[in-house]
Amino acid sequence: MSPGPAGLEARRFADWAEDAARLRRAYEARARVSALEAPEALAQRSTEDGPRFFDALFSGLSLDGPLRCLDVGCGTGGLLDFLAARFPGAPLARYLGLDLVPAFVEHAAARAEGRRIEFRRADFLDPAFRLDERFGVVVACGALVHYVRHYPAYLDAMLRKMLACTERHLLFNVIAGIDDTSPNYARAPVPGEPFALGKDPLFRVLEGLPGITYDIRDLRLFPDAVDSFVRIEKDPPARSSRSATTRRSHASAGSGSDRRCHRIEKSKPSAANGSSRTSSP
C-alpha cells in the first residue's frame, strides 16, 4: 500500500537528511586534504569563483540602510567580504551563516562578532531547525546545485522555508544545463553530486510560490555549464493580501508574451580546466 501524504513527506525528509549527510562527508573529505580557504576545499576552481557567483546573484540589486543577511550554505563566510565591498552604503546589522560542514563553521567563526555576525552548523531543511528572526536578504549561493532525491520537491521545500525567513529578497542559483561531454557532471542523478535541474522543473517550482516576483539570468560562468541565477522578491503585505499569484519579471532575449525566453550571457570562463563543481572524492 502506498504511503499517505504524511508518510510520503516523512520519507522525503528522511531521504533529504541522508543526502545532506552524504554531501557533508564529501566536503569533510576535501577539507582533510586541502586548506579550508583553498578552492579545492569548497569544490571551487579558483579563488575568483565565489566573488563571480556572488556578483551574478546580486547583479542589479540595490541595498541601502542596515543590512540583515542569512547565508544558507555559507562555507567559510566569503560572502561577508563581498557584501562589504559591493554595498558600502548598507552597513551590516546582522549576518547569520549556516553550513552543514563543522570544519567550515569553525573556521568561519573567527569572523564572528557577537550577535552581529554569527555562524552555525545546521541542516537548514531539518524540520527541527527553526529560525525566529527575519532577514532583509536570504542567499543560497551554490547550496542547491547538488542532486538530492525528490529534487524538485526538495527545491520547493527549501525555497518556501527560505522565503519564510526573508522580509524581501531571496537569491539563489541552480545548474540549468551542462555539457554532455564534460567529465565533471554525472549523467544520471547521484545524491550529493552536482546535477542540472533544468529549466522546466525550475519554472514549475517558481510558479507554485505565491505572492512573489522573480527574475532569472542565465550565465555561462564555466565552459561546461550554464547556471540560472534567480532573484525572488516578496510582495509587500498589502499587495500579497490582494493577490496570491506569482509574477514573472525575468531577463528575456526579446519582447512579446513569451517571458520564458531567457538571455544566456557568456561571461568569460575561468582559465583553469575542469569545473568548480566536481565529483565527490
List C-alpha distances in Å: 197 to 38, 200, 260. Answer: 27, 8, 16
Confidence of residue 274 (pLDDT cuts 50, 70, 90): very low
The radius of gyration of the chain's CA atoms, rounded to the nearest angstrom, is: 18
DSSP state of 118: E
**What residues does 166 pair with on adjacent strands?**
135
Q: Considering only residues 250 and 3, tell me which one the structure prediction assigns the higher pLDDT.
A: 3
Per-chain mean pLDDT for the chain: 81
Hey, what's the cell of 121? 552548523
Does pLDDT of 270 surpass 80? no
User: What is the residue-wise DSSP string for 169-238?
Assistant: EEEEEEEEEE-TT-TTS-SS--TTSB----HHHHHHHHHTSSSEEEEEEEEEEETTEEEEEEEEEEPPHH
User: For residue 233, what pLDDT is reported?
Assistant: 96
CB 112: neighbour CB atoms within 10 A?
15
Only one residue has cell 527545491, namely 155
pLDDT digits (tens, 9 = 90+) for 35-77: 556 444 444 444 456 688 999 999 989 888 899 999 999 998 9
pLDDT digits (tens, 9 = 90+) for 174-230: 999 988 888 877 667 888 888 899 899 999 999 999 999 999 999 998 888 899 999
CA-wise closest residue to 165 among 204, 125, 195, 201: 125
Confidence of residue 265 (pLDDT cuts 50, 70, 90): very low
Which range has highest mean pLDDT (102-106, 238-242, 258-262)?
102-106
pLDDT digits (tens, 9 = 90+) for 138-182: 999 999 999 999 999 999 999 999 999 999 999 999 999 988 888
Quote the distance between the C-alpha of residue 190 and its chain's center. Answer: 19
Does pLDDT of 246 surpass 70? no
Q: What angle do CA 11, 15, 21 make, to 5 degrees?
A: 150
Does pLDDT of 134 surpass 80? yes
| Domains of the chain as residue ranges with CATH | 5-214+244-265 (3.40.50.150)
Q: Considering only residues 188 and 16, tell me which one the structure prediction assigns the higher pLDDT.
A: 16
User: For residue 155, what pLDDT is reported?
Assistant: 97
pLDDT digits (tens, 9 = 90+) for 112-131: 877 799 999 999 999 999 99
Does pLDDT of 260 surpass 50? no
Does pLDDT of 111 surpass 50? yes
